[in-house]
Chain A
Amino acid sequence: MTENNINPTGDNKLLAETHSTRKISWLERTVGPDNYRILKGLVKTPASIIGMILIAIFILIAIFAPVIAPPVGNDPFKMPRDGFVGEPKGPGSPWKKNVPDVPFWYQTLTGNEEWVHLLGTAQGQYDIFYGIVWGTRTAFQTGFIVVVATVLIGVILGSIAAYYGGGVDNLIMRITDIFMTLPYIMMALIFSSVLTPILGRSLLPPMIAMIAFGWMGYARIIRSDILSIKERDYVLAAKASGLKSGRILFKHILPNAIFPTLVLASLGIGDVVLGFAALSFLGIGTEVGYADWGQILSFARNWITSLDKYWYIVVYPGITLTLFVMGWNLVGDAMRDVLDPRMRGKS
């Protein structure tokens, strides 16, 4: 008996060749198997893929805005005006005053050398194409800031309610209920029109108003998720090993509970942008001429009776807004299916 041959050496190479093991990607390692399943489900349905492509296109437009529509003057968010005539001009009409630099792609694509109003002008000769391109940046900006702020408020309040329970829970959730009964757009409108004289005309008043009345959903979701995670064995085990309650909440409960909230929040951007456009359309928010989809639409208010002639002042910004919100909603629907426990194992 030679020892070398008989004792196991622990060399599993042969085994690895015959039995293929499932490779675990770094993504699955970092987010955990449950969350990985959610992410995987997101890129499975055609609808969610279309949604993601739409979102990706908008991200590209936002990033390359200076190339797509070169700015005139110092503030790129100020839509350039071709004169001060009230009546809108149709798509393709020549640009006379305040002409921006012609971007390099224009000549190769169209063969023209003169820059025109690609999508026409709105009332007051604001260029619609420019407004839509730079308005994408405004949309992402407001969307992200409002969503991040509402999620923060929601998560803080929701986790305090869920973790401490009892009277604290009751108080916070009843306040949440009261906020939920208030009609959202109405309250945002009133609140931001109260804020406008104080803060001036800018993005701030409608954003603050939307934050103030938009956090309730997140508070409810995170609360219910924490309530379920709180009962898990590993939380009891963490308590039994003497950890402080703050550490248990932030290291053991929140990381396990927050994922659905974060995903839903990222998809809330569409709704926020829609609400923001509505406020803008009603005349709340940025100063006149700021690149913002709702603002362009609001220019159409005076021409609404003759849209057969001036259709482009509504159709182009409207389509843009619709596509943007649809992109987020398509991904959101896929998300809801993946998160729905009844759908588990079917997709």
Chain B
Amino acid sequence: MAEKILDVQGLETQFKTPEGIVHAVNGVSIHLDEGETLGLVGESGCGKSVTMLSILRLIQSPPGQIVAGKAIFKGSDLLAMSQEEIRQVRGGQISMIFQDPMTSLNPVMNIGKQMAEPMLLHLGITPKEARERSIKLLESVGIPRAGERLKDYPHQYSGGMRQRVMIAMALSCNPQILIADEPTTALDVTIQAQIVDLVIRLRQELGMAIIWITHDLGVAASIANRIAVMYGGFIIEEAAVKELYANPSHPYTLGLINSLPQIQRKGRQRLYSIEGMPPILLQTPKACPFAPRCRWVREKCWQQNPMLESIGENHKVACWVDTTTGSER
């Protein structure tokens, strides 16, 4: 088995709001192997982004607070580092791409200057070298006439190009881990495909590990080696990508996969959808967070929240019910 490059254990993040404490992430344990791509899947507000922001300690505090957990990156705990140490890790060893490329670049700073910033900081190179490296990077992410376009401002780039710039920036300091927070959500489908292809190519060239946050199971399938599904601040299923699509075991994962439109489906059929709404995370959940929407729900689900348990090789699930047979495990 490959070396673990990142090992998150029991991460808990909460937000203090006027309505009470929101339990956004409830004891998430997840690991990332070297060179691996992990897909983190779930609907809006299930804690995907908060988990990743917590790892880099980018949660606004107040109101956010990391209550418990460890994030071991190359032997040291990111959550226990000093501000100065974590700042060295951000952008240098772990870098991040965000959801909306339209708003992720500073509108009054030209692309060249923005790209140079992290390089000057982490690589200790001269502005001239940074400029040359920026040109190479922009060319490698497929931006033509890169040298000229360095002095352009973000509003002179299209959405897809800005996301390419973000990717180039994120990779500029040779990170070991790239966290991509829904990088294709704000783009149209053809650009999505281009960006996914680009990241796959760059992964082969540079060999970094990737955490790809998405709510699009199709995108996740095309890029990830392993997928973790989140719901209500918990990881409820985790498996190698083929295993997950072949044998989805958690009722929520099943629902997600069934709700995908399928091209070979005959006739006019309604697309499956999961009933109900995602939970509001105001109380410490004692029950299974998915219980109110689950068709296999039973007494036990309301009394105790199931833990993530191994049900096969590279396959863990947090459910009291074996969805293949409908009986309790």
Q: Which residues of A does B touch, CB under 8 Å?
A: 10, 24, 29, 31-35, 166, 232-234, 236-244, 247, 251-252, 255-256
Contacts and interface: CB of A to CB of B under 8 A. Distances in A.
B166 A237 contact: yes
Nearest to B90: A242
Nearest to B152: A29
- Helix, strand, loop or mixed for chain A's interface? helix
25 contacts: A10-B144, A32-B108, A35-B108, A232-B103, A233-B99, A234-B105, A234-B106, A236-B98, A238-B106, A240-B56, A240-B58, A241-B96, A241-B117, A241-B170, A242-B87, A242-B90, A243-B91, A243-B118, A244-B87, A244-B121, A251-B117, A252-B106, A255-B108, A255-B109, A256-B106
Nearest to A234: B106
Contact of B96 (A29, A32, A237): A237
Contact of B90 (A29, A241, A255): A241
Interface string B87-124: 11111100110111001111111000000011001100
B156 interface: yes
A234 B103 contact: yes
B104 A233 contact: yes
A255 B106 CA distance: 10
Among B89, B91, B99, max chain A CB count under 10 A is at B91
Contact of B153 (A32, A236, A255): A32
Contact of B107 (A33, A242, A244): A33
A29 B153 contact: yes
A23 to B, nearest CB: 12
Contact of A241 (B91, B99, B108): B91
Contacts of B298: none
B92 A242 contact: yes
Contacts of A29: 153
B109 A251 contact: yes
Nearest to A239: B58
A54 B142 CA distance: 52
Interface of B: 56, 58, 62, 87-92, 95-96, 98-100, 103-109, 117-118, 121-122, 144, 153, 155-156, 166, 169-170
Nearest to A232: B103
A32 B107 contact: yes
A252 B106 CA distance: 7
B92 A32 contact: no
A251 B108 CA distance: 9
B104 A234 contact: yes
A293 B155 CA distance: 47
Among A237, A243, A252, max chain B CB count under 10 A is at A237
Nearest to A258: B108
B162 to A, nearest CB: 11
B155 A33 contact: yes
Contacts of A237: 96, 98, 104-105, 166
A329 B98 CA distance: 43
A241 B173 CA distance: 10
A31 B155 CA distance: 12
Given A29-B153, A241-B95, A241-B169, 20 more contacts: A24-B156, A34-B107, A232-B103, A233-B99, A233-B103, A234-B103, A234-B106, A236-B98, A237-B96, A238-B106, A240-B56, A240-B90, A241-B117, A241-B121, A241-B170, A242-B90, A242-B118, A243-B121, A255-B106, A256-B108
B308 to A, nearest CB: 28
A242 B91 contact: yes
